[in-house]
Amino acid sequence: MLGEEAHIRSSKVTGPRYDATYPAEQLNEYENLVLLCPTHHTVIDKDKGRAWPTANVLEMKQAHEAHVDAAMGSPAKSRLELEVALAARIDRWEASIHLAGWEELSRRLNYVVPYVTTEQWFALSQTSAWLAGLDWPHEYPKLAAAFETHGAVLCVLVQHLTDVFVSDGKEHRIRRRHKERWFGGSDGERKYTEAISQFGVDDAVTSVLITELTRTVNLVIQAVNKELIPLYRFNDGPVQMIEGDVFWGLWSSTPRYDPLDWETFPRAYVLSDVAQRVRDELQGGDPRNGVRMDIAAFDPSLNGRGALGRRRLKHTQPVPSSTDEA
49 CB-side CA count, 13 A: 22
Task: Fill in the amino acid letter for 306.
Answer: G
Task: Fill in the amino acid letter for 95.
Answer: A
Residues 220-246 have a mean pLDDT of 91
Which band of pLDDT confidence, cut at 50, 70 and 90, is reported for residue 28? confident
Residue 200: name the closest of 290, 272, 301 by CA.
290
Kindly write down the DSSP assignment for every residue of 91-132, as one continuous string. Answer: HHHHHHTTGGGHHHHHHHHTSSS-EEEHHHHHHHHHHHHHHH
The answer to whether 37 and 8 have CB atoms below 8 angstroms apart is no
Q: Are strands 171-174 and 165-167 parallel, antiparallel or unpaired?
A: antiparallel
Provide the residue ranges of all domains of the chain, joining segments of one domain with +. Answer: 4-82, 100-325
The pLDDT tens digits for 112-143 are: 999 999 999 999 999 999 999 999 999 999 99
Residue 313: name the closest of 272, 275, 270, 267 by CA.
267
Mean pLDDT over all residues of the chain? 85
Distance CA 274, CA 44 (A): 51
Residue, of 306 and 159, whose pLDDT is higher? 159
Percent of the chain having pLDDT more than 90?
A: 58
Residue 18: name the closest of 59, 46, 43, 49 by CA.
49
Residues 181-209 have a mean pLDDT of 91
- pLDDT at 73 (0 to 100): 57
Kindly write down the DSSP assignment for every residue of 271-312, as one continuous string. Answer: HHHHHHHHHHHTTT--GGG-----GGG---STTSTTTTTT--
Residue 307, pLDDT > 60, answer no
Residue 16: name the closest of 48, 39, 38 by CA.
48
The pLDDT tens digits for 70-80 are: 655 556 657 87
